[in-house]
Amino acid sequence: MSDFASRIERARMSLDDRALDALCLSVGSDLPYLTGYRAMPLERLTMLVLPAQGQGVLVVPALEAPRIDTSDGLYEVRPWAETEDPVAIVSDLLGPSTHVAVGDETWARFVLALQASDDRRAWVSAEPLMRELRTIKSASEVAALRAAARTVDGVVDQMAEVQFSGRTERDVAREFADRTLADGHEEVLFAIVASGENGASPHHEPTDRIIRHGDAVVVDFGGHQADYSSDTTRMFVVGESPYGFDDAYEVLRTAQAAATAHVRPGVTAASVDAVARDIITEAGYGDLFVHRVGHGIGMDTHEHPYLVEGNDQELSTGMTFSIEPGIYVPEEWGMRLEDIVTVTDTGVEPLNRSDRGIRYVS
Ligand code: ZN
Ligand code: ZN
Ligand code: ZN
């Protein structure tokens, strides 16, 4: 059975377990996870209608239909012409279904129209069901994440040989993105280059600030390769580190390594955050670590599980997530160190392997 066939089968079983009659998926990663087809985020509706029993039907704008590969016969395709009403088509396909799960990224205008189309139907979020399917990665998904990680690791190594000083953040960010695309990514979704005081803003957008001697530069970038995400952060320093930076970086590295070593099946998501946070707090930087330690990653850059205080979900083999503690001193500098890891039967495998030390550049 192909990956897609077994995923569709598991989705059907999960519908059944939850006493749901059908699943409706539109834009976002749930649809390509089940079918390999990613819908254009357009005003024209694309929707897979998958009943708990029987054949699924993918309702698509006629002009998108040629992009769909139907060779494996996992679902039918129902192209709709410009003058047809796709909401009516979906509603007809749902027939007698009364309990329907809808993908949580579906546009509100379509959800509202579907709800209005037949008031006997109850609509619930498909998020819990899809989360259950997508959180545990198969060996081929982990391999795809590993390959994406290798690409960005290589770019970090290349950029350690490049001059930063005298260039804008925007210019350096563009070079990270260009090299990432050249080395195998289909798209780069973000390239944070945050120099000097800008580093204190975790999700800083690159600006025209000119990078200079003595700047610490947070570089956090990633994108998609074969539909799976990369996301890594490494620290670059131009010439010499700013005051207090190196001591804090030792703490950060120790915290990141300890949190990584803690990962194995059965520990909670929250405990990974706590391991890193305790070390950073003990060293006196606790107030400066202002975000959770990590997020799941797969087809989406941010997905379940979230490694955050209060999430008592236990980790299992095949989960994949980031471990990315940070320390941010307002108006001075910031630092973060980020790897993607996967939970194995006996512990953890980091997918990012590039050197975790500070990269000194000119
Ligand atoms: Zn982030
Ligand atoms: Zn990141
Ligand atoms: Zn991240």
* pLDDT band of 276, cuts 50, 70, 90: very high
State the distance from the centre of ligand 3 to the C-alpha of 319, rounded, in angstroms: 15
Question: How large is the average pLDDT for residues 347-361?
Answer: 98
Instruction: Say which ligand is closest to the CA of 192.
Output: 2
Using N-to-C axis directions, what is the helix angle for 269-282 and 245-262, rounded to 10°? 150
Instruction: Say which ligand is closest to the CA of 336.
Output: 2
State the distance from the centre of ligand 3 to the C-alpha of 135, rounded, in angstroms: 16
Mean pLDDT of the chain: 97
State the distance from the centre of ligand 1 to the C-alpha of 203, rounded, in angstroms: 6
Is residue 72 over pLDDT 90? no
Q: Is 243 exposed, middle or buried (0-12, 13-18, 19+ CB in 10 A)?
A: exposed
Residue 70 host element (H or E): none
Within 8 A by CB and 6+ apart from 186, the residues are: 223, 224, 225, 226
Enumerate the β-bridge partners of residue 56.
Answer: 75
Neighbours of ion ligand 3 (CB under 5 A): 231, 322
Instruction: Say which ligand is closest to the CA of 341.
Output: 3
Closest CA to 222 of 149, 279, 286: 149
Enumerate the β-bridge partners of residue 225.
Answer: 228
State the distance from the centre of ligand 3 to the C-alpha of 221, rounded, in angstroms: 9
Instruction: Say which ligand is closest to the CA of 291.
Output: 1
Cβ–Cβ < 8 Å for 4, 75: no
State the distance from the centre of ligand 3 to the C-alpha of 41, rounded, in angstroms: 24
The predicted pLDDT at position 129 comes to: 97
Question: How large is the average pLDDT for residues 72-86?
Answer: 95
Instruction: Say which ligand is closest to the CA of 302.
Output: 3
- Residue 106 corresponds to which tokens in the numbers above? 């579906």
Tell me how far apart the 2 most distant CA atoms of the chain are, in Å.
Answer: 69
Cβ–Cβ < 8 Å for 175, 160: no
State the distance from the centre of ligand 1 to the C-alpha of 241, rounded, in angstroms: 23
- The 10s digit of each residue's pLDDT in 101-122 is 999 999 999 999 999 999 999 9
d(CA 214, CA 197): 11
**CB neighbours of residue 296 within 10 Å:** 22
Instruction: Say which ligand is closest to the CA of 203.
Output: 1
- The 10s digit of each residue's pLDDT in 129-157 is 999 999 999 999 999 999 999 999 999 99
Cβ–Cβ < 8 Å for 332, 150: no
* pLDDT band of 73, cuts 50, 70, 90: confident
